[in-house]
Amino acid sequence: MTPSVLAETHLSYFHRGGDVPLLGTTIPERFTQIVKKYPDHDAIVSCHQGRRLSYRELDLAIDLAAEALFAFGFGRGDRIGVWSTDNIEWLILQMATARIGAILVNINPAYRPRELEYALQTSEVQGLFTIPAYSHSNYPEMLINLIPELKQHDGVVQSETFPHLSRVVLFDSVNPMQTEIPAKGFLSWQDFLDFGREVDRAVLDEATHALDCDDPINIQYTSGTTGFPKAVVLTHHNILNNAYFTAQAMKFGPTDRLCVPVPFYHCFGMVLSNLLCLAVGACIVVPAEHFDPLAVLQAIESERCTALHGVPTMFIGELEHARFDEFDLSSLRTGIMAGAPCPSELMKRVINDMHCREILIGYGQTEASPITHLTHAEDNLARRTETVGTNLPHQEVKVVDPETNETLPLGEIGDVCFRGYHVMSGYYNNSEATAKTIDQAGWLHSGDLGAMDQEGYVKITGRLKEMIIRGGENIYPAEIEAYLFSHDKIAQVAVFGLPDEKLGEEIVVWVQLHQGAIMDEDELLSFCRDGLAHFKVPHIVKFVEEFPMTVTGKIQKFRMREMMSTI
C-alpha cells in the first residue's frame, strides 16, 4: 500500500498519498502514448461479432469516426448519446468523442421511450447512435414513435420536442454493411463514416491538441436503484485517473486480457473495463452484447483471459452454470467484484473454482468516477468480504454524522464522504442537486452509511435513505443481509423497511434460495433469532425466484417496496 495518513485524533478520516503521480493528460493523449508502445497488441476482441482489432487498427477506426463527428459539426462540449448494447462500435464512439472533446452520454439500452426521452432532454443530446434491436426491443420503432420527424428529412432531425438533436445513426453490429434504414432521418454507420473521409486529419489533430484534461468528457446516469437517475458530468481527469489507478491496484498491464460481461453504458464497463485496459495497453474481451454466463466461460477459455469483472449475481450465474466444469479458467488471476455485497462463500468459490486468487472487491459511485475503495490482493477473506478496502491513492475519505456533518470517531457509523481528483464536476444543468451532494469544502456526500477502522478499511452498512427505524432502533439492512448470506441455502437476499403504524417501520426480507434448496419461513426466522437481536428479526418474509434489478445486477429496493405496498 502507498503512504497513508490516518488522523491521530482517532477520527474517521483517511488520506492515501501515492508514489505514482496523477496523470495530467487527456484521454486521447494517453491513448496515443499507448498506441505508440503497443501498436500490434490486441486492443479489443468482440466474440459475438467475430472481430478483433489491434491498437493500431483501433486507432485508425477512432480517427475516422472522430472525423465523421467533426464533419457533422460536432466538437468540444457537444453531447453525443450512445443507446446500445456492448460492441466494438460503442468503444470506437467512446474514444472518438474524446478525440474531438465531445461529451459522450451513456444511455441504458434497457430504457423504454419515456426513459429515453428523459435522457435525451436532460442531457440535451445532439447526436444519437443506436442499434436495430436487442431482446424484444425495436430501437428504430421506439425512436420513430418518440420523434415522428425522423420520417421527414434525409439524414437529419428537426424536432420541436428535441430541439438539440440533429443526427441519428443506426449501426448493425452483426451485419454492418447491411444496415436497413427504417426512415429517412436515420443514417447507417457506413454512411456516417463516409462523411469522415473528407475531413483533413490536421484539423482533427488541432482540435485534439486544444483540449484540456479538466474538460467535461462524459455524462453517466446514476443507476436508478433509488429513483429517477441524475446526469453526472465527468472530466478526462476524473475517469482517466480512476481507470489508471484501478489498473495499478490490480497489477494490470499490457500482457493482461480482461473479460468484460458488464455493460459499457455503465461506469463498470466504460471506465473500469474499457478505459482501464486502454490506459495500460491491455486487451478488452467482450463475450456477448449482454450478460451471458456461458459466453463468459467460453471467452475466458478461448482468449485466455487473466481478469474478470462482474457484480456478485454475474459470478453466481457463471459458477452455477450447468457446463461450468467443462471450461479451463486457469488463466484467470484477478478482477473486480462490485455493485453489491459479496458473501464469503461466493468469494471462496471465485478464488478456488475460478482461479481468481487476487480478485478485488470494489466500491464507489457514478459521482466518484466511480471507484473510491478497493480491497488488496493480500487481504484475508474477512477483509475481502466484510469491508470494501481502502481508498485509492490521491483520495480522501471521511465518515461524518449525517445531522451535524462532524467527523465521527473510528468505528462509528455515518455518511461516507470523498474528496479528490475523482469527484464529479456536478449534475448536468442541476446546480441545486449538485449543492446537496458536494459541500462547499469539496466533499462528495455518498449517502452510503459506513464505518472506518484504524487502518482505513471501510465497511458499508447500507444507504442513509434505506436505514430502517423500528421502534426507535436504527437497523442497517446490510447487517441482516450479511448474516443471512452465511446460510448455505440462501443465494440472494434483500432487506428493506415498510411503514408500520405501531413501530414506524417493519423489516421485510426477500430471499432467493440456491437451486434445489428447500426452506420455509419458520426455518428462516429461527435462523434469524439464533444470530440477530430480536428487534432485527424480519417481520415479513417473501421467497422469490428473482429480484427487480438494474441491467448491471443491482437490486432495486424501491421497486420491491412499491410491489409490497400494493399487496
Structural domains of the chain in order of their starting residue, each with its CATH number: 1-466 (3.40.50.12780), 473-565 (3.30.300.30)
> Which residues, at least 6 apart from 157, have a Cβ–Cβ distance to it below 8 Å?
147, 149, 150, 165, 166, 167, 168, 185
Structure-block grid coordinates of residue 201: 486529419
Distance of CA 334 to the CA centre of its chain: 18
Structure-block grid coordinates of residue 532: 440477530
Amino acid at 556: Q
Q: What angle do CA 398, 403, 408 make, to 5 degrees?
A: 35
Q: What digits encode the pLDDT tens for the residues 144-154?
A: 999 999 999 89
| pTM over the 0.85 mark | yes
Query: How far, in Å, CA of 360 to CA of 304, rounded?
Result: 19
Structure-block grid coordinates of residue 431: 446546480
Confidence at 6, pLDDT banded by 50, 70, 90: low
Q: What digits encode the pLDDT tens for the residues 208-257?
A: 999 999 999 999 998 655 557 899 999 999 999 999 999 999 999 999 99
Choose among 447, 448, 457, 513: nearest CA to 478.
Answer: 448
Q: What digits encode the pLDDT tens for the residues 17-43?
A: 999 999 999 999 999 999 999 999 999
Pick the residue with more confidence: 229 or 392?
A: 392
Residue with cell 456478485: 312
Pick the residue with more confidence: 227 or 87?
A: 87
Q: 105-119, 337-351, 414-428, 450-464 — which one is most confidently predicted on average?
A: 414-428
Please give the pLDDT value at position 341.
77
* DSSP string of 305-335, one letter each residue: -SEE-B-HHHHHHHHT-TTGGGS--TT--B-
| pLDDT score of 344 more than 90 | no
Pick the residue with more confidence: 311 or 237?
A: 237
